[in-house]
Amino acid sequence: MAPAAPVALITGGSSGIGLALTKHLLSQSWHVFIADINPPPTSELADFPPSTHHFHITDVSSWGAQSSAFATCFSHFGRLDFCALNAGIDDRDDIFNSTSNELDLPPTKPNMKTFEVNLFGPYYGVKLAAHYMALNPPLMGKGEGRGGRIVITASDAGLWALPAVPQYTATKHAVVGLVRSLAPSAAQVGISINAVAPALTPSNLAPPGLLESYPKEALTKMETLLRAFDALGRFDEVEGEGWGGEEPNGQIVEGRGEDIYYKGEMARTAGKEVPKHLDGYVQRAQQEICNAESELRVKVEGVRWRKDDSRAAHRLHYIMLRMYIV
């Protein structure tokens, strides 16, 4: 018998953006497989039948763990239509502020967990999704079934440089390149691959006081981000023939305030296309950020202010957002 509902696998689906997307899809009669380190709060999913969602403990930086999650998802629900590769972490290493300045104390091996989670994780996920989406049976007896849609959670740090978090920035830039370069070959097998690029998104994960310190236009509302997922996932059209490989494909969609922007050579919002010629502006703004970073390295009560201090990083991110809002 053909599966009765479309199925989504969401990494990092137990909190923040991933949990919001999980609930969003469950409310549209999807089945959701949650792959995360920790389970979602029971209260968050209490309104949905237990048979419609399943949690599987998963470290996305591990090929074995992700492979197990995807296999379990397909075994449990019988198909895989949509994959949100959403799990991510911030920086775990520092370069220029961690030097010892002593010949006998060379640097230790850097912590590369950010790359393992934010870049290796999505790469593993795309490879696994491609395998299982190719095995999909027809949905409710309609169409050929094979194919699906993939959305990776990138970041505004994948579009602009954030000096406070270079590891995070590097991985998100890589994700953007991965999406754009994989799109043509994905379309050939009935799969679309896109990315959302949120700025700071209000959720229970934000440190106390942080959201209040940001200007409203610098935040990505959760409902705005979910609209971006809707635009890329086309969830209400899942039963249509060829749904998986249809446009949009290879797109990076930024959410800012209440608007979404397609970040290619053209930025689109509200149905209009406006050319964006910002190279010179971006370069000037990036230099201003570097200058601001240098100026902010001050002594506070006799202790040198460091980039890896959380409040310092938040402040630098705030400066960046103020500069890039256009």
pLDDT at 320 over 70: no
Which amino acids are annotated catalytic? Answer: 168, 172
> What is the token pair recorded at 256?
């800012």
CA distances from 61 to 36, 121, 157 (A): 11, 5, 20
Q: What is the CATH number of the domain that holds 260?
A: 3.40.50.720
What are the residues whose beta carbons fall under 8 Å from the beta carbon of 9, sequence distance 6 or more?
32, 33, 35, 69, 70, 73, 80, 82, 83, 84, 129
**What stretches of 160-309 show up as alpha helix (H) in DSSP?**
166-187, 210-213, 222-233, 279-295
Q: pLDDT digits over 66-121, tens only?
A: 999 999 999 999 999 999 999 999 999 999 988 899 999 999 999 999 999 999 99
State the chain's mean pLDDT as an integer. Answer: 83
> What is the token pair recorded at 163?
């000096």
Residue 11: inside a domain: yes
Residue 93: inside a domain: yes
Q: What is the extent of the structural domain holding 252? A: 7-276
Residue 45: inside a domain: yes
pTM of the model: 0.80
Task: Look at the chain and report how many structural domains it folds into.
Answer: 1
Residue 301: inside a domain: no
pLDDT bucket at 264, cuts 50 / 70 / 90: confident
Residue % of the chain over a pLDDT of 70: 74
